[in-house]
């Protein structure tokens, strides 16, 4: 201990420094100027076990060397296992089958059904994440106001309004992402099939976020935000009156259209009482933006647009919902919140029972062996390299990077669909098929003889992309190569294991 302390350059060693020196020495980190070995070890002084050669590491730190060798062997075994799996599983064939399956289903009807649903769900999730980010920023607003109130005691000349403007300008990113997500929702929801959208559940979620986003707004523009919310809710309720199942004809007249004014080939203005309320709502928006020399645009108006968009979305989705669905969604969410542990336990139990029934209905031994063989190298690989945290994943949802990723994917999907439709329309590709006699009569050898090959190709160029269906019989087949990687891997195993696996996965193996 005296030599450890004397090796330090300081004249005074505190208790924490002494504890730290002792910890380093216990871990094998030797001070550079401490000579505990003979003169042959002078060049190794101050080096950690990781910096030593393997021969000296085994001699000086055997336990550390054993642990490192164990990790190296596990890593090599996992790499070999993953490589072995990649050779057994016919990945190229599977990828080709998946590719052909996807290509065969890439039709106009598929895009019309699938793409709007994907865009709507992704944009709705992006709206939820951005709203959670806005709630997180509202807490930052409270801390900021508390801090400015404290600073005013020491600096009375502090410009609080300018500070709030700067703070609001620096926290506009989640609002812009939210408005961009709303744009995708507006364009995708009318095109999406409502049979695949739980409208009642999403309506309840929209109403919840409408209330919570209003509660998180600043109190500086409270008179305008309160009147705007009341006006918006009134307009939404009046729009819902004609869809009510009750026989309330006088009330339903309040939501009906009085006059229809066409503003173009695609735009029609429906003059009604909700329309007048929306005009008044636009006036309130202008008044909110006019505050603080139009700095209220991003201080008050943009934050309120979160509440406005959720309210409008809830009205639109409520028009597609049913009374029974709303009751089911409300009760379901209440049970989800107040009986969450029981619900989770029940879902896990039901999942285990269903999985057990499905597992027993199949060939148990074959599945168990396949899972065991395939999971060992993957689990070892994951054990050595994994760094996964559920809490970290939940926290990452409030980060803007997730929202940016969703928005990038939405933009890519929309651009892909646009290019696909544009190319399809340019080629005049329709979701139809030709029979072989039709194709042969129009573009086949018979047409070549009647006119000529060049003229036939010119006339049939617009048929590029059509499907031609035919039925026939193969007269001759020649097998050139057989690739059975699983058989090659089984041949490397001992005879009794290989015979058992052949019998298990293949035909009866002769004794």
Rounded-to-integer distance, Cα 444 and Cα 442, Å: 6
On whether both 127 and 77 belong to a single domain, the answer is no
Query: Quick check: is 309 in a domain?
Result: no
Query: Quick check: is 295 in a domain?
Result: no
> What is the pLDDT averaged over residues 168-182?
84
On whether both 414 and 345 belong to a single domain, the answer is no
**Cα torsion 307, 308, 313, 319: sign:** positive
The pLDDT score that the predictor gives to residue 313 is 92
C-alpha dist (Å) from residue 446 to 333, 463, 464, 473: 67, 17, 19, 22
The pLDDT score that the predictor gives to residue 38 is 43
Q: pLDDT class for 385, splitting at 50, 70, 90?
A: low
Bigger pLDDT: 145 vs 322: 322
- Is a pLDDT exceeding 70 seen at residue 299? yes
Query: Quick check: is 13 in a domain?
Result: yes
Last residue of a domain, one of 48, 82, 116: 82
- Is a pLDDT exceeding 60 seen at residue 431? no
| Tokens 């005296």 belong to residue | 2
**Residue 499 in 3-state DSSP?**
helix
On whether both 371 and 421 belong to a single domain, the answer is no
Rounded-to-integer distance, Cα 440 and Cα 278, Å: 62
> What digits encode the pLDDT tens for the residues 9-53?
555 666 666 666 665 655 455 555 554 444 444 555 556 666 666
**How many independent structural domains does the chain possess?**
3
Q: pLDDT class for 296, splitting at 50, 70, 90?
A: confident
On whether both 111 and 179 belong to a single domain, the answer is yes
On whether both 51 and 112 belong to a single domain, the answer is no
Q: Tell me the backbone φ, ψ of residue 173, rounded to 5 degrees.
A: -60, -50
Last residue of a domain, one of 18, 49, 82: 82
Q: pLDDT class for 417, splitting at 50, 70, 90?
A: low
On whether both 74 and 13 belong to a single domain, the answer is yes
Q: How would you class 182 by CB atoms within 10 Å of its CB: exposed for 0-12, middle for 13-18, buried for 19 or more?
A: buried
> What is the pLDDT averaged over residues 278-293?
87
Q: Tell me the backbone φ, ψ of residue 245, rounded to 5 degrees.
A: -75, -10
C-alpha dist (Å) from residue 18 to 7, 12, 23, 29: 12, 10, 9, 14
pTM assigned to the model: 0.54
On whether both 114 and 182 belong to a single domain, the answer is yes
The pLDDT score that the predictor gives to residue 428 is 46
CB-facing half-sphere around the CA of 210: CA atoms within 13 A: 21
Query: Quick check: is 283 in a domain?
Result: no
The pLDDT score that the predictor gives to residue 35 is 45
Q: Tell me the backbone φ, ψ of residue 177, rounded to 5 degrees.
A: -65, -35
Long-range contact set of residues 483-489: C-beta below 8 Å, sequence gap at least 24: 483/90, 485/87, 485/88, 485/89, 485/90, 486/88, 488/87, 489/84, 489/87, 489/88
On whether both 24 and 68 belong to a single domain, the answer is yes
Last residue of a domain, one of 396, 414, 439: 396
Domain region containing 357: 341-396
Query: Quick check: is 452 in a domain?
Result: no
DSSP 8-class letter at 32: T
> What digits encode the pLDDT tens for the residues 216-238?
876 666 788 888 888 888 888 88
Query: Quick check: is 116 in a domain?
Result: yes
On whether both 134 and 189 belong to a single domain, the answer is yes
Residues linked to residue 260 through DSSP beta bridges, in sequence order = 270
The pLDDT score that the predictor gives to residue 390 is 47
Bigger pLDDT: 312 vs 505: 312
Query: Quick check: is 10 in a domain?
Result: yes
On whether both 49 and 119 belong to a single domain, the answer is no
On whether both 139 and 160 belong to a single domain, the answer is yes
Q: Which two structure tokens, joined as six digits, stand for 344?
A: 């989770």
CB 42 within 8 A of CB 27: no
**Mean pLDDT of the residues in the chain:** 74
Query: Quick check: is 304 in a domain?
Result: no
Instruction: Sort strands 257-262 and 268-272 into parallel, antiparallel or unpaired.
Output: antiparallel
């Amino acid at each position: 201990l005296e030599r450890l302390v004397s090796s330090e350059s300081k004249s005074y060693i505190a208790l924490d420094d002494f504890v730290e020196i002792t910890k380093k020495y216990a871990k094998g980190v030797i001070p550079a100027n401490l000579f505990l070995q003979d003169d042959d070890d002078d060049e190794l002084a101050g080096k950690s076990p990781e910096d030593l050669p393997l021969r000296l590491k085994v001699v000086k730190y055997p336990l550390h060397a054993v642990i490192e060798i164990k990790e190296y062997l596990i890593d090599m075994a996992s790499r070999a296992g993953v490589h072995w799996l990649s050779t057994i599983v016919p990945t190229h064939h599977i990828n080709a089958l998946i590719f052909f399956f996807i290509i065969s289903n890439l039709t106009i009807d598929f895009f019309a059904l699938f793409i709007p649903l994907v865009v709507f769900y992704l944009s709705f999730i992006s709206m939820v994440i951005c709203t959670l980010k806005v709630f997180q920023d509202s807490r930052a607003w409270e801390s900021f106001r508390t801090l400015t109130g404290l600073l005013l005691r020491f600096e009375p000349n502090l410009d609080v309004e300018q500070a709030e403007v700067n703070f609001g300008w620096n926290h506009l990113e989640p609002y812009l992402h939210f408005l961009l997500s709303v744009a995708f929702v507006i364009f995708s929801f009318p095109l999406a099939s409502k049979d695949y959208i739980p409208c009642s559940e999403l309506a309840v979620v929209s109403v919840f976020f409408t209330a919570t986003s209003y509660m998180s707004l600043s109190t500086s523009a409270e008179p305008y935000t309160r009147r705007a919310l009341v006006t918006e809710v009134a307009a939404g309720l009046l729009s819902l009156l004609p869809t009510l199942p009750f026989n309330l004809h006088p009330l339903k007249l309040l939501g009906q259209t009085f006059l229809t004014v066409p503003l173009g080939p695609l735009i029609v203005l429906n003059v009604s009482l909700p329309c007048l309320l929306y005009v008044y709502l636009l006036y309130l928006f202008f008044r909110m933006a006019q505050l603080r020399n139009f700095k209220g645009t991003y201080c008050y108006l943009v934050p309120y647009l979160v509440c406005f968009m959720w309210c409008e979305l809830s009205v639109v989705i409520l028009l597609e919902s049913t009374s029974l669905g709303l009751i089911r969604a409300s009760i379901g969410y209440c049970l989800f919140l107040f009986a969450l542990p029981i619900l989770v336990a029940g879902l896990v139990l039901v999942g285990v029972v269903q999985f057990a029934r499905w597992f027993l209905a199949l060939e148990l031994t074959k599945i168990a062996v396949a899972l065991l063989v395939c999971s060992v190298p993957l689990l070892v690989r994951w054990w050595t390299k994994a760094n996964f945290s559920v809490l970290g994943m939940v926290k990452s949802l409030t980060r803007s990077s997730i929202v940016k990723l969703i928005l990038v994917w939405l933009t890519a999907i929309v651009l892909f669909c646009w290019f696909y439709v544009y190319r399809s329309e340019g080629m005049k590709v329709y979701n139809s098929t030709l029979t072989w006699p039709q194709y042969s009569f129009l573009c086949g050898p018979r047409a070549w003889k009647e006119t000529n090959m060049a003229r036939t190709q010119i006339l049939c160029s617009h048929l590029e992309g059509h499907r031609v269906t035919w039925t026939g019989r193969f007269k001759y087949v020649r097998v050139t190569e057989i690739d059975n990687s699983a058989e090659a891997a089984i041949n490397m195993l001992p005879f009794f294991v290989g015979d058992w696996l052949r019998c298990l996965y293949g035909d009866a193996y002769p004794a």
